[in-house]
C-alpha cells in the first residue's frame, strides 16, 4: 500500500476519479430528465393543459440546480488533462482534444444558450420558443455525452489514429475515430442508464407526494411517466446495450473480462458467478456459486466458447485492482436486474389500477432513486478500472501519463480542496432541491416581492416603541 | 496553418475575456453600484441568464488549445498547478453564487451569496490579470519545456520568477480596473434607475483611471521585455491592434458623453479585443517565454499537434463557431433591452 501512496500517478488518478464521480452525479440526471421536460412541454403545447406546464416549471427548477452544479464541477475535468495528465496530453492531445473541444463548440454552447431561457425565460420567450429551448437543452446534453464517450472509447479501444512526427498521435481517419464502434455501444448503454436515473427520480418524487397526499394530479403524472420510461430504459440498459458492451469487452479487452468475472483459469463452458470473492493472491474465486456456461454464452454466443483466464496473461497487463473491478461489475448487474423487476412490477400494479393505493410499493419506489446513481457510477468504475494499466488501451500506460512537475503534496492538497468544496456544494444542493420539493409544483410564482428590508420582529418592536 | 490556429485560439480567448469580463466587472462593482436588495437582484438579473454561455468560451478555449497546441496546455497548466486550481475554485464559487443567491428570499442568505459573488470575481480578475502578466513576462521554462513555479520568489521579473512579482501585480491591478470599467459600462446599458446612474459614474471614473495605469504597464512591459516592442514594430497585426485600441477609446468616450450606452459598450468590448490582439501578435510565434534561457521558449510551432490533427480541427471548428453564433443571436435578441425585475426573475434572480 505504501508504494501506492508515494506514487504520483496514484494521487492524480484519485483526484480525477473523485472529481469525475462527483461531477457525473449531476449530468446523469440532466441527461435523463431533459427528455421528460421536452415531452411535458410538448404535451402542454398540444393540449393546452396547464398541468403539463406546471410539471415543466417544477422540474426545470430541479434541472437548473443540477445543471449549475454540473457546469461548475465539469470545468475542473477538462483542466485536469493539463494540470495532472500533462504527459498524456502532450502525447495524445491532438486526438482526444478534438472531441473535448467539439463538446464545447457543439454541445455546451447549445446547452448554455438555452438553459437560462428554459428556466427563467417562459415569459420572455412564449410557449413555442420555450419548447424549443427545452429541446435545445436536451439535445445539447446528449451531444455532450456523445463527445465524451467518443473520447473515452478512444482510450478503451483506440481506432482511427496514427503516430506522426515527434511521436505524437494524429488523426488517420476522422470518421473511424468519431464512429468508433465502442463509442456507439457505450453511448447507447450510458444514455439508457441516464434515463433510468431520470425516471427513478421522477418516480420517487411522484411517490413521495402521493404518500403525503399532496399535489395529487402532478404526482400521478410523475408516477405514470416515471415507471413507464423507467421500465423501458431499464430493459434497454441490459438488452441490447449492456450485452453488446460486454461482448465488446470480451472481443477487445479479454483480460479485462476475465478480471471482471474473476476468471483466473481459462476454459470452455465458463460460468457467471452469482456469489464469490476474487482472491488475487491465491488466484481463485473464493466460495463461488456459478451458472455454468453462462459467461461463454453471453460473451461469445455459445455455451462451449472458450473464455480466456487471467493466468494466460502476464500480471503486468492485469487491471491493477481486480477485486474492486469485480465487485463494481457484479453489483451493477445485480442492481440493473432489480431495476427491471421493480419497474415491471410497478407497471403491472398500475395496469391493475393499484399503484397509488399500494403504500409499500410507493415507499419502495420513493426510496429506490439513489440506486441508479450507484449503478451508473459502478458501471463507470468497471469501464475505467478495467482499462488499467493502460491510459490508451494497448498504446500508452497510465504510469507514463501524469504531470512530472506536479508533486504528490500538490496533488493531495488540491484533492483535499475539492473534497471540502464539493462537500459544501453537496449540502447546498440537497438543501435547495429539498426546498423546491417542499414547495412543490403547485406553488404560485412570486415575482414582485424581494427580501424585506428589516425582519418583521424588529419592525414590530420599533412600532411598539413609537406607540 | 499553425499561425491561423494561433489566431483562432487567441480569438477564443478574446471572446471569453470580453464576454465573461463583463460579469467579473459587474461582480466587482456589485456592492457599490447596488445598495438595496432589489438593486442587487437587478445586477444579477443583468448577467444572469447568459453567464454560463460566457463561461463556455473558457471551456471552448481550453478544449481547442488541447486539440491544437497540446504541449502548451500541458506545460502551462501543470506549471501553474496551484494557481489554476485557485481559479477553478473561484469559478465554482462564482457560478454557485449567481445561481443560488436568488433562490431564497432572505436578506441574510442573499447577503452571504453577494459576498461570495464579489470576492470570487475580484480574485478571478486578479488571477487572470496576473496570468496575462506571466504570459507577457515569461516563466522559468527548462530545456524540457516544463516548469513549476512558486507563488512568488523575490518579486523580480527575471530569472527564477514566481507567479507574482511587481510586473504581474501591476498587470493584475490594471486588469481589475479595466474589467471593472467594462462591467460598469455593461450595467449602464442593461439597467435603469439608481443602478444605472451609479454605474455610469463608476464607468467614467474607472475608464479615466485606466489611462495612466495603461501608460504605466506599457512602460513596465518595455522594461521587462524590450524585445517584444521591437518585434511589435515590425508586425502589421500589432499596428492593427493599436488602431483598434485608438478607435475603441473614441467609441467609449463619445458613447459615454452622448449617453449612447450601446456604443460605449461596443467600444469597451473592442478595447479589450484591441489590447489582446496587440499582446498576442507581439508575442507570436512564441506562446510561452522562458525567463531562464531564450532557447527554452516554446513557439507555436514547437507546441502544435500533428498535422492531421490540425487539418481535422480546421473542418469542424468553423461549423461549431457558426452554430454557436446562431444560438447566441437567437438568445441575445430575446434578452435585448434593459432588465426588468418584474419580468425577468420568476422568483429566482
DSSP structure string for B43-55: HHHHHGGGHHHHH
Q: Classify the C-alpha dihedral B101-B106-B107-B108 as positive or negative.
A: negative
Q: Which of chain B's residues have a Cβ under 8 Å away from the Cβ of A129?
A: 334
Res A241: pLDDT: 92
Strand A396-397 versus strand B286-288 pairing type: unpaired
Strands A390-392 and A396-397 turn out to be: antiparallel
Binning pLDDT at 50, 70 and 90, where does residue B347 land? very low
User: Nine-digit cell at A433?
Assistant: 432541491
The helix or strand, by DSSP H or E, that contains position A187, with its residue range, turns out to be: helix A181-212
Q: Do A451 and B53 touch (CB under 8 A)?
A: no
What is the chain B residue with the closest CA to A80? B77
Q: In 3-state terms, what secondary structure has residue A276?
A: strand
Residue A452's CB is within 10 A of a number of other CB atoms, namely 12
The per-residue pLDDT for range A133-151, each reduced to its tens digit, is 999 999 999 999 999 999 9
Q: Contacts of residue B37 in chain A, CB cutoff 8 Å?
A: 450-451, 453
Rounded distance between C-alpha atoms, residue B313 and residue B197, angstroms: 46
Cβ of A116 within 8 Å of Cβ of B348? The answer is: no
What span, in angstroms and rounded, lies between the C-alpha atoms of A435 and A64? Answer: 14
Q: Which residues pair with A161 in a beta bridge?
A: A171
CB contact under 8 A, A113 and B71: no
Report the alpha-carbon angle A407-B91-B82, nearest 5. Answer: 15
Across A23-37, A117-131, B269-283, the highest mean pLDDT is recorded for A23-37
The residue with greater pLDDT, B296 or A233, is A233
Closest CA to B130 of B217, B45, B65: B217
Mean pLDDT of chain B: 86
Model confidence at B287, in pLDDT bands (50, 70, 90)?
A: confident
Is the distance from CB of A330 to CB of A289 less than 8 angstroms?
no
Give the confidence band of A71 by pLDDT, cuts at 50, 70, 90.
Answer: confident
Q: From the list A71, A91, A428, which residue is nearest B95 (CB)?
A: A71
Q: ∠ CA(A440), CA(A441), CA(A445), 5° rounding?
A: 100
The reported pLDDT for the residue numbered A2 is: 55
Which of A225, A214, A265 shows the shortest CA–CA distance to A41?
A225
pLDDT confidence bin for B341, thresholds 50/70/90: low
Could you give the CA distance from residue B101 to residue B111 in angstroms, rounded to a whole number? 8
Judge whether B339 and B64 are in contact, CB under 8 Å: no
Q: What is the DSSP string of B216-263?
A: HHHHHHHHH-HHHHHHHHT-HHHHHHHHHHHHHHHHHHHHHHTT-HHH
CA end-to-end distance (rounded Å), chain A: 74
A124, A174, A413 ranked by CB distance to B312: nearest:
A174
Per-residue pLDDT at A447 exceeds 70: no
CA nearest B335: which of B50, B19, B113? Answer: B50
Query: Which residue in the block uniquely carries the three cell numbers 478544449?
Result: B63
CA gap B84, A82 in Å, rounded: 10
B144: cell is 524540457
How does residue A443 score in pLDDT terms, banded at 50, 70 and 90?
Answer: low
Q: Residues of B numbered 282-321 whose beta carbons fall under 8 angstroms of chain A's beta carbons: which are they?
A: 305-313, 315-317, 320-321
Which span out of A163-167, A189-193, B250-254 was modeled with the highest average pLDDT? A189-193
| pLDDT at position A18 | 96
Q: What is the mean pLDDT of residues A250-272?
A: 87
B173 burial level (CB within 10 Å; 0-12, 13-18, 19+): middle
Closest chain B CA to residue A71: B52
Could you tell me the pLDDT band of residue B340, with boundaries at 50, 70 and 90?
low
| Cross-strand partners of A278 | A285
Residues of B in contact with A410 (CB under 8 A): 81-82
pLDDT digits (tens, 9 = 90+) for A414-431: 999 999 999 999 999 999
C-alpha cell at A402: 501524469
A122 interaction partners in chain B (CB closer than 8 Å):
346
Whether residue A229 contacts residue A194, with contact meaning beta carbons closer than 8 Å, is answered with no
The per-residue pLDDT for range A264-309, each reduced to its tens digit, is: 888 888 888 888 888 888 888 888 888 888 888 888 888 888 888 8
Q: Do B107 and A121 touch (CB under 8 A)?
A: no
> Is the Cβ of B143 closer than 8 Å to some Cβ of chain A?
no
- Mutation for A interface: B23, B37, B56, most A CBs within 10 A: B56
Contacts of B76 in chain A (CB under 8 A): 82
- Asked whether B187 and B197 are in contact (CB, 8 A), the reply is no
Report cis status (omega within 30 of 0) of the bond before A458.
no
Give the best residue of B330, B346, B348, B349 to mutate against chain A (max A CB count within 10 A). Answer: B346
Touching A: B residues 84-103, CB under 8 Å: 84-85, 88-89, 91-92, 95-96, 99-100, 103
E-assigned strand segments in A211-353: 272-279, 284-291
Do B343 and A97 count as a contact with CB atoms less than 8 A apart?
A: no
Backbone φ, ψ for residue A415 (5° rounding) = -65, -45
**Backbone phi and psi for residue B152, each to the nearest 5 degrees, phi listed first:** -150, 155
Mutate which of A79, A92, A177, A442 to disrupt the B interface (most B C-beta within 10 Å)? A79
Q: CA-nearest residue of chain B to A64?
A: B99
Residue of B73, B83, B315, B332 to mutate, interface with A, max A Cβ within 10 Å:
B73
pLDDT at A455 over 50: no
- Chain-centroid distance of CA B108 in Å reads 31
Of A251, A247, A278, residue with least CA distance to A265 = A278
Residues of B in Cβ contact (< 8 Å) with A166: 306
Residue of A nearest to B109 (CA): A451
Nearest-Cα distance to chain B for A321, in Å, is: 27
Mutate to test the interface with A, among B5, B15, B81 (most CBs of A within 10 A): B81
Proportion of chain A above pLDDT 90, given as a percent? 60
Rounded Cα–Cα distance for residues B98 and B94 (Å)? 6
pLDDT at A381 (0 to 100): 95
Distance of CA B86 to the CA centre of its chain: 16
Longest dimension (CA), chain A: 94
Which residues fall within 8 angstroms of residue B339, CB to CB, at 6 or more apart? B42, B45, B46, B190, B191
What pLDDT was estimated at residue B348?
42
Q: B-chain residues within 8 Å CB-CB of A72?
A: 91-92, 95-96
Q: Which residue of A has its CA nearest to B321?
A: A105
| Least reliable range by pLDDT among A64-78, A271-285, B309-323 | A271-285
This model's pTM is above 0.80? yes
**Residue B117 to residue A423: CA distance in whole angstroms:** 19
Lookup: cell for A245: 458492451
Helices (H), B284-306: 300-303
Q: Does B36 touch chain A (CB under 8 A)?
A: yes
Taking CA–CA distances from A114, the nearest residue in chain B reads B331
3-state helix, strand, coil in chain B (%, to 5): 80, 5, 20
Distance CA A82, CA A93 (A): 10
Q: Decide if B63 and A78 are in contact by the 8 Å CB cutoff.
A: yes
Nearest by CB to residue A405, choosing from B66, B79, B307, is: B79
- Strand partners for A390: A397
What are the tens digits of pLDDT across the range A340-386?
999 999 999 999 999 888 999 999 999 999 999 999 999 999 999 99
Tell me the average pLDDT across A37-49.
93
How close does chain B come to A97, measured CA to CA in Å? 4
Q: Using CB atoms, which residue from B36, B305, B345 is nearest to A447?
A: B345
Q: Which of A113, A123, A119 is nearest to A58 (CA)?
A: A119
Q: Is the pLDDT of residue A205 over 70?
A: yes
A-proximal residues of B, 144-173, CB under 8 Å: 146-148
Q: What confidence category does residue B37 fall into, taking pLDDT thresholds of 50, 70 and 90? A: confident
Average pLDDT of chain A? 88
pLDDT in tens, B139-182: 888 888 888 887 887 777 777 787 888 888 999 999 999 999 99
d(CA A173, CA A330): 36
B339 phi and psi angles, rounded to 5 deg: -80, 150
> In 3-state terms, what secondary structure has residue A26?
coil
Find chain A residues with C-beta within 8 A of B344's C-beta. Answer: 120, 124
Amino acid at each position: 500500500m505504501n508504494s501506492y501512496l508515494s506514487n504520483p500517478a496514484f494521487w492524480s488518478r484519485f483526484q480525477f476519479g473523485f472529481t469525475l464521480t462527483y461531477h457525473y452525479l449531476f449530468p446523469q440526471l440532466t441527461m435523463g430528465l431533459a427528455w421528460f421536460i421536452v415531452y411535458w412541454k410538448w404535451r402542454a403545447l398540444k393540449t393546452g393543459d396547464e398541468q403539463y406546464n406546471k410539471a415543466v416549471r417544477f422540474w426545470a427548477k430541479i434541472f437548473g440546480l443540477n445543471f449549475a452544479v454540473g457546469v461548475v464541477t465539469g470545468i475542473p475535468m477538462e483542466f485536469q488533462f493539463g494540470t495532472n495528465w500533462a504527459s498524456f496530453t502532450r502525447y495524445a492531445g491532438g486526438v482526444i482534444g478534438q472531441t473535448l473541444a467539439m463538446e464545447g463548440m457543439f454541445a455546451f454552447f447549445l446547452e448554455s444558450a438555452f438553459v437560462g431561457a428554459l428556466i427563467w425565460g417562459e415569459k420572455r420567450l412564449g410557449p413555442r420558443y420555450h419548447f424549443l429551448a427545452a429541446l435545445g437543452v436536451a439535445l445539447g446534453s446528449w451531444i455532450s455525452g456523445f463527445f465524451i464517450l467518443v473520447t473515452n472509447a478512444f482510450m478503451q479501444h483506440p481506432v482511427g489514429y496514427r503516430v506522426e512526427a515527434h511521436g505524437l498521435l494524429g488523426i488517420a481517419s476522422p470518421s473511424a475515430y468519431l464512429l468508433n464502434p465502442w463509442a456507439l455501444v457505450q453511448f447507447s448503454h450510458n444514455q439508457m442508464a441516464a434515463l433510468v436515473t431520470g425516471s427513478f427520480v421522477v418516480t420517487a418524487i411522484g411517490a413521495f407526494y402521493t404518500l403525503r397526499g399532496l399535489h395529487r394530479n402532478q404526482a400521478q403524472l410523475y408516477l405514470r411517466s416515471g415507471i413507464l420510461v423507467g421500465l423501458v430504459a431499464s430493459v434497454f440498459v441490459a438488452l441490447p446495450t449492456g450485452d453488446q458492451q460486454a461482448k465488446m469487452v470480451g472481443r477487445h479487452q479479454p483480460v479485462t473480462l476475465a478480471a471482471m468475472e474473476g476468471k483466473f483459469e481459462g476454459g470452455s463452458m465458463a460460468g457467471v458467478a452469482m456469489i464469490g470473492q476474487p482472491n488475487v493472491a491465491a488466484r481463485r474465486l473464493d466460495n463461488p456459486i456459478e451458472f455454468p456456461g453462462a459467461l461463454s454464452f453471453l460473451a461469445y454466443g455459445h455455451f462451449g466458447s472458450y473464455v480466456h483466464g487471467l493466468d494466460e496473461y502476464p500480471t503486468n497487463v492485469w487491471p491493477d485492482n481486480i477485486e474492486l473491478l469485480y465487485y463494481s461489475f457484479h453489483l451493477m448487474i445485480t442492481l440493473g436486474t432489480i431495476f427491471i423487476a421493480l419497474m415491471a412490477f410497478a407497471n403491472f400494479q398500475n395496469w391493475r389500477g393499484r399503484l397509488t393505493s399500494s403504500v409499500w410499493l410507493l415507499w419502495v419506489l420513493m426510496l429506490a432513486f439513489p440506486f441508479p446513481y450507484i449503478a451508473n457510477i459502478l458501471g463507470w468504475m468497471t469501464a475505467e478500472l478495467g482499462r488499467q494499466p493502460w491510459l490508451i488501451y494497448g498504446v500508452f500506460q497510465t504510469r507514463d501519463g501524469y504531470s512530472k512537475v506536479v508533486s504528490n503534496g500538490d496533488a493531495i492538497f488540491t484533492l483535499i480542496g475539492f473534497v471540502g468544496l464539493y462537500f459544501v456544494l453537496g449540502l447546498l444542493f440537497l438543501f435547495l432541491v429539498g426546498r423546491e420539493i417542499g414547495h412543490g409544483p403547485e406553488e404560485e410564482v412570486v415575482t414582485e416581492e424581494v427580501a424585506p428590508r428589516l425582519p418583521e420582529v424588529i419592525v414590530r418592536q420599533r412600532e411598539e416603541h413609537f406607540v | 496553418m499553425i499561425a491561423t490556429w494561433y489566431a483562432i485560439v487567441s480569438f477564443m480567448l478574446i471572446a471569453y475575456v470580453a464576454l465573461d469580463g463583463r460579469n467579473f466587472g459587474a461582480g466587482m462593482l456589485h456592492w457599490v453600484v447596488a445598495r438595496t436588495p432589489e438593486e442587487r437582484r437587478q445586477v444579477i438579473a443583468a448577467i444572469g441568464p447568459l453567464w454560463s454561455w460566457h463561461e463556455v468560451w473558457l471551456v471552448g478555449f481550453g478544449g481547442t488549445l488541447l486539440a491544437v497546441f497540446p504541449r502548451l496546455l500541458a506545460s502551462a497548466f501543470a506549471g501553474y498547478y496551484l494557481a489554476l486550481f485557485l481559479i477553478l475554485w473561484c469559478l465554482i464559487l462564482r457560478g454557485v453564487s449567481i445561481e443560488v443567491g436568488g433562490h431564497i428570499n432572505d436578506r441574510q442568505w442573499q447577503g452571504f451569496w453577494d459576498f461570495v459573488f464579489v470576492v470570487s470575481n475580484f480574485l478571478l480578475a486578479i488571477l487572470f490579470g496576473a496570468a496575462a502578466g506571466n504570459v507577457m513576462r515569461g516563466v522559468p521554462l527548462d530545456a524540457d519545456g516544463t516548469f513549476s513555479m512558486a507563488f512568488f520568489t523575490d518579486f523580480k521579473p527575471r530569472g527564477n520568477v514566481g507567479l507574482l512579482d511587481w510586473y504581474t501585480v501591476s498587470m493584475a491591478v490594471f486588469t481589475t480596473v479595466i474589467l471593472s470599467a467594462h462591467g460598469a459600462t455593461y450595467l449602464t446599458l442593461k439597467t435603469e434607475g439608481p443602478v444605472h446612474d451609479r454605474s455610469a459614474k463608476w464607468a467614467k471614473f474607472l475608464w479615466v483611471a485606466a489611462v495612466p495605469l495603461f501608460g504605466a504597464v506599457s512602460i513596465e512591459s518595455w522594461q521587462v521585455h524590450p524585445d517584444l516592442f521591437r518585434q511589435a514594430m515590425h508586425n502589421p497585426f500589432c499596428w492593427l491592434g493599436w488602431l483598434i485600441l485608438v478607435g475603441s477609446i473614441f467609441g467609449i468616450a463619445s458613447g459615454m458623453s452622448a449617453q449612447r450606452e450601446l456604443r460605449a459598450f461596443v467600444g469597451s468590448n473592442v478595447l479589450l479585443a484591441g489590447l489582446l490582439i496587440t499582446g498576442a501578435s507581439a508575442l507570436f510565434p512564441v506562446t510561452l517565454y522562458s525567463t531562464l534561457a531564450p532557447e527554452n521558449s516554446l513557439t507555436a510551432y514547437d507546441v502544435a499537434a500533428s498535422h492531421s490533427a490540425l487539418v481535422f480541427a480546421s473542418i469542424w471548428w468553423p461549423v461549431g463557431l457558426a452554430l454557436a453564433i446562431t444560438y447566441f443571436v437567437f438568445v441575445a435578441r430575446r434578452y435585448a433591452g434593459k432588465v426588468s425585475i418584474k419580468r425577468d426573475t420568476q422568483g429566482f434572480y
